[in-house]
Amino acid sequence: MDDDPILRAILTSHLEHLPITITYAADGEVALSLMLANTYDACILDGMMPKLDGFSLLSQKKKDPRLNVRDMKVLMLSGKKKEDDLARGFQMGAGDYMTKPFSLVELEVRVRQLMNLV
C-alpha cells in the first residue's frame, strides 16, 4: 500500500505473477478500512502515507483486537532510513523492513519469504 500510483503500478506488475491477490490503497485511512473489512495474509506498508502513515497503521493493528488477532504479516517499505525507524518498525510488528530506493528483485524475494513461497 503506497500513496504513489506509479510505484503501486510497478509493484503490482512485478508481483502479480506470484500466487497472491493484490489489493492497494492510496492512503492510510483507506488501508485501515480495507484491513478491518477483509482478511489479508500479508501487507506491504509505506512508512509515509497521507492521512495515516505505516507506523500508525502498525500501532492500530497492535491495539485493535479486530486486527491483532489476525496473523497478517507486514513488510514495511519506507524512505525513512534511520536505524531508529527500522527498530521501531520491527518493535511495532513488521516482519520485514526495506528502505527506498529498493531493488524489485529483492522485494520479490522478501515477499516470497514473508509469504512462505520460497
Instruction: Check residue 98 and give its pLDDT.
Output: 92
Q: Is 111:92 a contact under the CB 8 Å cutoff?
A: no
Cα torsion angle, 61, 62, 67, 71, sign: positive
Asked if residue 87 belongs to a domain, the reply is yes
Asked if residue 118 belongs to a domain, the reply is no
Over residues 46-94, the pLDDT tens digits come to 888 888 888 899 898 888 888 865 678 899 988 877 888 889 889 988 9
Asked if residue 117 belongs to a domain, the reply is no
Does the pLDDT of residue 2 top 60, yes or no? no
Domain count, the chain: 1
Asked if residue 116 belongs to a domain, the reply is no
The CA distances from residue 70 to 31, 41, 75, 85, 98, in Å, are 15, 8, 15, 24, 23
Asked if residue 115 belongs to a domain, the reply is no
* Exposure on the CB side of residue 117, measured as CA atoms within 13 A: 14
Cα torsion angle, 78, 81, 82, 83, sign: positive
Over residues 3-22, the pLDDT tens digits come to 678 888 888 898 989 988 88
Asked if residue 84 belongs to a domain, the reply is yes
CA distance 83 to 40: 28
* Grid coordinates of 39: 482478511
CATH code (residue 78): 3.40.50.2300
What is the extent of the structural domain holding 36?
5-110
Q: Report pTM.
A: 0.85
Residue 60 identity: Q
